[in-house]
Amino acid sequence: MQVFGYEDHYHGGHAEVVFDHARVPVSNLIGEEGGGFAIAQARLGPGRIHHCMRLIGMAERAIELMCRRAVSRDAFGKALAQQGVVQNWIADARVAVEQLRLLVLKTAWMMDTVGNRGAHTEIQAIKIATPRTVVGILDRAIQLYGAGGVSQDFPLAELYAGARTLMIADGPDEVHQRSLARRELKKYL
């Protein structure tokens, strides 16, 4: 299946699978009967780290493309690189990427040292912050490229589609925000 009109090249694509009257013999069960949801949940933490690392890579590519465009394109009589707003976009993107990199690194360290449960807040934080921030960086990069930014001439539209999709994948951001807020509020009850 396509997402936003693109194939997922990183994972070999997505498929739609229908199980109709499927039965699994007891001898083929992985873990306890009815425990599939718990197994799926256990893999989500590491999966979210992976998504966030990919997103950081997307943001790095966007910054590179922004810089290349800024030094090669003139507007209003001077290079885009000399335009204050473009400089701000690039600087803000670099700061944001470094912040995300540290938050993802901290989350990975916590998962290694205290496990997924102990890193629950941090896992939710990266799930919320990383795609949202990278979508913003990609949006600025697309803006810098104008109509070319939404075309297949540059990878920005496809990167944007991938990053935007990760605001939904493994649970929509709003679900994670609600859970994170509840966890924070419990400290004061």
DSSP secondary structure letters along 109-174 = HHHHHHHHHHTHHHHHHHHHHHHHHHHHHHHHHHHHHGGGGGSTTSTHHHHHHHHHHTTTTTS-HH
Calculate what percentage of the chain has a pLDDT beyond 90: 72
Q: Per-residue pLDDT for 41 more than 80?
A: no
Chain centroid to CA 158: how far?
13
pLDDT of residue 61 exceeding 70, the answer is yes
User: For every residue of 126-139, which 3-state class applies, written as one string?
Assistant: HHHHHHHHHHHHHH
What pLDDT does residue 166 have? Answer: 92
Question: Does 171 or 38 have the greater pLDDT score?
Answer: 171
CB 86 within 8 A of CB 80: yes
How many whole angstroms separate alpha carbon 90 and alpha carbon 146? 16
Torsion of CA 114, 118, 122, 126, to 10 degrees: 80
What pLDDT sits at residue 56?
98
Query: Is-above-0.85 flag for pTM?
Result: yes
pLDDT of residue 38: 74
Band (115; pLDDT cuts 50, 70, 90): very high
Average confidence (pLDDT) over 103-123: 95
Q: Please state the rounded mean pLDDT for residues 134-151.
A: 97
List, in sequence order, the alpha helices (H) in 9-83: 36-72
pLDDT mean over 20-38: 84
At residue 7, does pLDDT exceed 90?
Answer: no
Looking at residue 34, its pLDDT comes to: 80
Alpha carbon of 83 to those of 80, 99, 120, 141, 145: distances in Å?
5, 25, 42, 14, 14
Q: Is the pLDDT of residue 163 over 80?
A: yes
pLDDT at 10 over 70: no
Cβ atoms within 10 Å of 94's Cβ, excluding its own: 16
Of the pLDDT bands very low, low, confident and very high (cuts 50, 70, 90), residue 52 is very high
CATH code for the domain defined by 45-186: 1.20.140.10
Could you give the C-alpha distances from 103 to 56, 110, 157, 166, in angstroms and in order? 11, 10, 26, 17
Q: 74 forms bridges with which residues in the sheet?
A: 79
